[in-house]
Structure 1
Amino acid sequence: MGSSSKVVRPEEVLDSLKNDGTVDALRKKIIAQLKANEDMKKNTMMMVEQSKVLKTPGAEKKTKRELFDALRQELETPVLEKASKAVWELILDNAGLGKEINETVEKVYCRLSGIDSMPPPASTSSARQEKRTNMAIEEGEESKEMDASEPSSSSRKRSFTGAMQNGGAIYQHEEHEDGN
């Protein structure tokens, strides 16, 4: 461990990642993986094929621009919701891009704080897996309760909040019910 360490705020880590081009590089990797996602492509194609806009009488008489605008208005939100979910899956993946993001943030944090390296706690992976399992069970129970008490469908919004705790970067993924 380094001889001196300083307290580093999450904003400092983020600023460093932005300034050295890391955020842009990660954004490009995420976009490349989304573009390569065959399920996303198939799902989007299916949504377009089943579009009300294209099935509306007189659609064949509209200009390409009018059709495009109408399709965007109809499909933009559901397509972006699916893309958002896919991005979160990439970010939270402990084996792929998510692991790379965590390691990169940790390296920058260590560099800024003067710490040589931070070995992960021995129980980290099993504790994370147990926490995820418990969250999944709780979400399933909450979902059942919501289904029973509220017949209308509700959308889930995800937020990703970073917290610096015990000298290391710990990320929490939260799901919130939205009444829309």
Structure 2
Amino acid sequence: MGSSSVITPEDVLESLMNDGTIDALRLKIINQLKANEELKNTTIKMAAQSKVLNTSGAEKQTKRELFDALRQELETPVLERASKAVWELILDSNGLGKEISETVERVFCKLSGREPPLFPHSNDIVLQPEKAVGNEKRKGKEKEYEIERENSKSKSKKRSFNDMNAEGNATDITGTSGDTPAAPHDAN
């Protein structure tokens, strides 16, 4: 693609998917989630306090019955916490989030024939007071956009590409879908 053509987000995403970058980033996210002791401990605590396990007669149920009931009880709150942890990783301006931003920018520059960096990274700039005011205005505009976007969701049944992609990634990250139960893994 020459520098005269318009590079879309889909072009960048396709390039990242084709060269294996998305898979590598997904693996890094999964490994960081697995290493997240706070997430592990919270999940263990939730299971220990589970109504399913603490109901009389639970010891008479099969492992499969217990697992299915536990999954029904805890799947949503556990996935919500995992999702929050994933977003924290993705948005981290010093860790994986920075790597993702730089990778996307590098691919965009490669596709468009431009030289990186397109935008100076915030860590490289010391904000002057007048620049800080500009950033506050920008943050205000971003908040207005978020509110407008939320309001428009209720009017339209259409989902954006980002919304569908985020929904798909939640399934990819866990390695399971809502239709088929995952088999429990023995700790032994």
Short-chain TM bin: 0.5 to 0.7
Higher helix residue share: 2
Q: Does 1:117 align with 2:109?
A: no
Cα distance in 2 for partners of 1:54, 1:122 equals: 49
Cα distance in 1 for partners of 2:111, 2:15 equals: 9
User: How far did residue 117 of structure 1 move?
Assistant: 1.8
Cα distance in 1 for partners of 2:91, 2:80 equals: 16
Cα distance in 2 for partners of 1:62, 1:132 equals: 56
Unaligned runs of 5+ in 1: 139-158, 163-180
Correspondence for 1:30: 29
User: How far did residue 114 of structure 1 move?
Assistant: 0.6
Q: How many residues align?
A: 140
Decide whether aligned partners of structure 1 residues 129 and 7 sit closer, same or farther in structure 2, where only a CA change above 3 A counts: same
Cα distance in 2 for partners of 1:8, 1:66 equals: 51
Correspondence for 1:175: none
Higher strand residue share: 1
Output the aligned Cα RMSD: 3.2
Q: Deviations over 1:79-103 (max 9, x none)?
A: 0000000000000000000000000
Unaligned runs of 5+ in 2: 145-159, 164-188
- Over 2 Å off, 4+ runs: 3-6, 118-135, 159-162
Paired amino acid for 1:74: E
Cα distance in 2 for partners of 1:132, 1:56 equals: 52
Cα distance in 1 for partners of 2:99, 2:111 equals: 18
User: How far did residue 120 of structure 1 move?
Assistant: 2.4
Contact 2:52/2:66 (8 A) holds in 1: yes
Secondary structure in 2 matching 1:52 = coil
Correspondence for 1:14: 13
Cα distance in 1 for partners of 2:100, 2:137 equals: 20
* Percent of residue pairs identical: 67
Decide whether aligned partners of structure 1 residues 11 and 33 sit closer, same or farther in structure 2, where only a CA change above 3 A counts: same
Cα distance in 1 for partners of 2:40, 2:135 equals: 30
